[in-house]
């Protein structure tokens, strides 16, 4: 299918079976813009076969990896974001029967001595610990070096979270199980904070949260953890019994523009970040610090320029100096943006240059004939739809041939993109590309 054919036809509707009630480990962590599970499952079933290895180079919370292993496929998941790697590992870990129950029971017994009575939480909702009481309660506890820590959390919540974290570490668990429990702990951070949990695209203490807090919102980190542990144990138990033992899953941190994998994948199934939609770097700030995935702000800042899809890309970002030969459509959009909004043109250029490097990596990693299945959303700018699917197709030309172009409506607004940044995505597209043999490459 040529690009002109593609432009001339309406994408066919992606067929997928509506949700089964298997939630497996999918509900362990609320991850922004994650795959709709039936879409992930449908793409795996349609475009891979049991025994193959699927690569998801933007694995996020690991939806593809979880669904792959219950469908007899091995998988490799990579992501730039350290929290994504931790979550994906936890969601695809499998433990012997009964082990999680006994560890969580041990943890809950130890935590029982640290819990405040419910009446104290009610009182603290109206009047937090004073600064002096906070300092006294700290008593040598480790707290993360989050800038403006007490803007993001109430004083007593910091103490409770630090006590929970320290108790988890005191159990001296095997590394895999400790990492698993830490992800459960990470899953309560957002709800225990002052930030609004709903707009998952960033991190903000909204007027809505201030109103709830003024009305006496009760935050009990221990109760949040009880619930999260119960849900996580049930999910992990279902996953362990359903995953195919013949499959393997590996997850590691990597920038998709320079990715190398130890094994050659048969198929790539992925959903790259959208332009100007979710700020993963900012969104995951609190969890990254609490899990000690970053110890200083400088550590974290070093990662920031490599996130694809960010808005307000700094003029000094090296990606803006990288060579890039824009396609005619990309050049057209770049010129329009350059004329009206130079910072938006920088974001666009950085996005396109990075995605171009990503497509080049995919062509290297896949065998000839291997499929790259890529979910993409059109974002809007100045009231116009940026045809990201067509821009990707132009990029893929010369490296891939186009097998199919599907689309489906986005019903689940769980993605909660911020409308102000123009990434209001109502429909997603699926590009099915086939890697050309090396002698066909330019
Ligand atoms: C749309 S999300 C993927 C969500 C995933 N499909 C799921 O179900 O959870 C895009 C992911 O791309 C990651 N990302 C952004 N820039 C990246 C880069 N340069 N290399 C690798 N991953 C990157 C983000 O951290 C985010 O997890």
Distance, CA of 324 to CA of 172 (rounded, Å): 50
- Per-residue confidence in pLDDT tens, the chain, 442 aa: 555 555 555 667 676 665 555 789 999 999 988 888 989 999 999 999 999 999 999 999 999 999 999 999 999 999 999 999 999 999 999 999 999 999 999 999 999 999 999 999 999 999 999 999 999 999 999 999 999 999 999 999 999 999 999 999 999 999 999 999 999 999 999 999 999 887 666 788 889 999 999 999 999 999 999 999 999 999 999 999 999 999 999 999 999 999 999 999 999 999 999 887 788 888 899 999 999 998 788 888 899 999 999 888 999 999 999 999 999 999 999 999 999 999 999 999 999 999 999 999 999 999 999 999 999 988 788 888 899 999 999 999 999 999 989 887 775 434 433 333 344 556 789 999 999 987 765 5
- Residue whose CA is closest, atom 10 of ligand 1? 273
Q: Which of 47, 87, 90, 95 is nearest to 68 (CA)?
A: 47
CB atoms within 10 A of CB 233: 19
Q: 407 pairs with which residues across the strands?
A: 13, 429
Q: Would the CB of 281 count as within 6 Å of ligand 1?
A: no
| Ligand 1: centre distance to CA 280 (Å) | 8
Domains of the chain: 3-92+245-276+311-440 (3.40.50.150), 99-239 (no CATH)
pLDDT, tens only, 372-408: 999 998 878 888 889 999 999 999 999 999 998 988 7
Q: What is the Cβ-side half-sphere exposure of residue 67, based on CA atoms within 13 angstroms?
A: 30
Q: Would the CB of 75 count as within 6 Å of ligand 1?
A: no
CA 427 from centroid of its chain's CA atoms? 19
Q: What is the residue-wise DSSP string for 258-300?
A: S---SS--SEEEE-PPPTTS--HHHHTHHHHHHTTS-SSHHHH
Instruction: Tell which atom from ligand 1 comes closest to the C-alpha of 256.
Output: 20
| DSSP classification of residue 218 | -
- Residue whose CA is closest, atom 23 of ligand 1? 80
Q: Would the CB of 61 count as within 6 Å of ligand 1?
A: yes
What is the pTM assigned to this prediction?
A: 0.93
Q: What region does 34 belong to: left with phi over 0, alpha with psi -120 to 50, or beta? A: beta
| Ligand 1 pocket test, candidate residues 80, 274, 322, most atoms within 8 A of CB | 80
């Amino acid at each position: 299918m040529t690009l002109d054919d593609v432009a001339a036809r309406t994408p066919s509707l992606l067929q997928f079976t509506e949700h089964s009630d298997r939630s497996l480990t999918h509900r362990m962590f609320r991850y922004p813009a994650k795959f709709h599970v039936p879409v992930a499952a449908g793409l795996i079933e349609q475009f891979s076969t049991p025994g193959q290895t699927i690569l998801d180079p933007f694995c996020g919370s690991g939806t593809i990896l979880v669904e792959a292993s219950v469908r007899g496929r091995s998988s490799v998941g990579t992501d730039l974001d350290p929290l994504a790697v931790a979550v994906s590992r936890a969601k695809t870990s499998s433990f012997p029967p009964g082990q999680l129950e006994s560890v969580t029971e041990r943890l809950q017994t130890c935590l029982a001595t640290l819990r405040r009575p419910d009446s104290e939480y009610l009182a603290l909702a109206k009047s937090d610990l004073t600064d002096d009481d906070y300092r006294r309660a700290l008593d040598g506890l480790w707290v993360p070096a989050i800038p403006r820590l007490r803007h993001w959390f109430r004083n007593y919540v910091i103490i409770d979270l630090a006590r929970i974290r320290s108790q988890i570490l005191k159990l001296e668990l095997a590394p895999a199980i400790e990492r698993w429990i830490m992800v459960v702990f990470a899953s309560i951070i957002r709800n225990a904070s002052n930030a609004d949990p709903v707009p998952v695209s960033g991190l903000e203490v909204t007027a809505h949260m201030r109103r709830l807090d003024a009305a006496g919102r009760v935050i009990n980190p221990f109760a949040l953890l009880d619930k999260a542990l119960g849900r996580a144990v049930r999910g992990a138990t279902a996953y362990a019994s359903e995953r195919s033992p013949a499959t393997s899953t590996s997850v590691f941190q990597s920038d998709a523009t320079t990715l190398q994998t130890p094994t050659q994948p048969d198929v790539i199934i992925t959903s790259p970040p959208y332009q100007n939609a979710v700020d993963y770097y900012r969104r995951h700030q609190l969890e990254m610090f609490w899990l000690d995935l970053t110890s200083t702000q400088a550590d974290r800042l070093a990662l920031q320029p490599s996130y694809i899809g960010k808005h307000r890309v700094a003029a000094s970002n090296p990606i803006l100096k990288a060579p890039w030969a824009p396609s005619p459509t990309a050049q057209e959009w770049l010129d329009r943006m350059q004329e009206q909004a130079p910072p938006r043109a920088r974001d666009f250029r950085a996005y396109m240059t990075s995605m171009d490097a990503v497509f080049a990596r995919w062509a290297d990693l896949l065998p000839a004939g291997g499929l790259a299945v890529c979910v993409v959303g059109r974002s809007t700018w100045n009231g116009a739809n940026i045809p990201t699917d067509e821009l990707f197709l132009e990029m893929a030309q010369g490296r891939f041939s186009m097998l199919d172009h599907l689309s489906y409506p986005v019903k689940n607004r769980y993605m909660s993109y911020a409308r102000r940044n123009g990434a209001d995505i109502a429909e997603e597209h699926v590009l099915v590309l086939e890697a050309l043999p090396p002698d066909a490459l330019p």
